[in-house]
Structure 1
């Protein structure tokens, strides 16, 4: 899935926008002082311009169709947004119809069901869900959309079952599946990563790792995890993203970009271009 020539377009493939008064962000609390405020394109676009990031993928942050439509409205207004990953209740009988409707928007690129927040870790692979869930997946395939997985290590076995069941579905795992970098925990994360990497329809986001490392993060603390992802997924299935504004709880945008460039400095130009943009262009079908 790698390109043979550079698009020369850098893409931040994972960022969020929200407006507090919308009130459907159940996880966002007033005590989260750095994050409990509005974050809009006017806040991020100057950073993008300063650091040569041409486009972004904005990711849902609330489990509601209304938020997805709100993000699609923003995408219509702002050229910097190349695509939107929204949310759909995949167990609803209306899910196929909803996906088909959302897919009519030229910047709708897929869905993220926020697996990490669901009460059952095995939800994605449970047999009793298969019929309605698979009907929704068929619509993702019909419209050439992505399934984005927000998961922890404990979900990876179940995600493996799901990915094998749907080998034609492009699956992107957010934040490297959130390894426990702060405690330097290696297994079982590393072993499960290696197993999932054998499935060619699965890619990984190089994003959110500083959040998992915590305020004492360093390039050296991140390096083993990034190297492991590159070793097993290669540079043609790694996709860079910032996770802005969530990353602001532990660092600032240019520091994460600089750290990423240091972590990837041994790659050749085409490989770096792949991680920083070409892979997002291909996986999300952006046609940039």
Structure 2
């Protein structure tokens, strides 16, 4: 990477279990079942020469989004926050407009992977929320799995002006070596929309015994379809700890992208541009 290029971790989390709104976070998750706060991450960022991060919601509450924005006010390394709003609420537009006034609110993320209805994102009552997001210039972080990809394509055809980033490459089932139909559907999204994609969360989908070789076909496909200018590197810390520590994932990412002519975009400039932070 060029010495002067900004380095951005496009996807990380903080949480304090005592806040009580993380329904998915249970003792069975072991390493994750503890508080993770800025003081835990800042030394890792320094070690890996990461300049800034995008802090992403982990609870479906406005209270958590406001908590994350307070953390962003206290730590300059947090360049932006992707928060949460109940898109189906009658108050969604007012909530979006209010939160968007905060200079560090850069996007919103419904927790689509946890909603039983695969087509929920297409419901008519969500239209005002998408319109308000577009008007505010916020990024829609798509927390989807392969089952959601046809619906996501429909959504992006419906709202071509909505800025979208697909989280964790839509969570391909790497541990089962399942490549299709994920690969074909991601290629279609890349070709027909302006969506970007996060190069994050892959080690978790591969499982504890992952190898770079396991991940390489998926990363190569993302490079071939989205191109290096539409991929954003993220750690997914601390969730990544289920399979790798911060340094291990960063090192693996360098190996996975070996031979790519210019990785400055993937490792920071693209996130800075897409989220409108830090001089990208």
Same fold (TM over 0.5): yes
Tell me the residue number matched to 2:265.
274
The answer (yes or no) to whether the contact 1:19–1:38 under 8 Å persists in 2 is yes
Q: Displacement of 1:31 after TM fit? A: 2.2
Secondary structure of the residue aligned to 1:141 is: helix
Q: Displacement of 1:27 after TM fit? A: 0.2
Deviations 1:96-134 (A, max 9, x none): 110110011110011000101001001112xxx22x311
How far apart are the structure 2 equivalents of 1:200 and 1:191?
14
Tell me the residue number matched to 1:95.
92
Unmatched tracts of structure 1, length 5 or more: none
Tell me the residue number matched to 2:9.
12
Residue 121 in 1 paired to residue 118 in 2? Answer: yes
Unmatched tracts of structure 2, length 5 or more: none
Tell me the residue number matched to 2:231.
238
Q: Displacement of 1:138 after TM fit? A: 1.4
CA RMSD in angstroms comes to 1.2
Tell me the residue number matched to 2:213.
220
How far apart are the structure 2 equivalents of 1:247 and 1:31?
16
Tell me the residue number matched to 2:41.
44
How far apart are the structure 1 equivalents of 2:28 and 2:220?
35
Higher helix share: 2
Paired residues for 1:30-109 under 5 Å: 30-109=27-106
Q: Displacement of 1:251 after TM fit? A: 1.0
How far apart are the structure 1 equivalents of 2:215 and 2:4?
27
The answer (yes or no) to whether the contact 1:6–1:273 under 8 Å persists in 2 is no
Deviations 1:222-255 (A, max 9, x none): 0000000010000011000000000111111101
Residue 174 in 1 paired to residue 167 in 2? Answer: yes
Q: Displacement of 1:187 after TM fit? A: 0.7
TM-score (norm 2): 0.97
Q: Displacement of 1:6 after TM fit? A: 8.7
Greater shift, 79-88 or 135-144, is seen at: 135-144
TM-score (norm 1): 0.94
Residue 141 in 1 paired to residue 134 in 2? Answer: yes
Query: In structure 2, which of residues 4, 22, 27 is the aligned counterpart of residue 25 of structure 1?
Result: 22
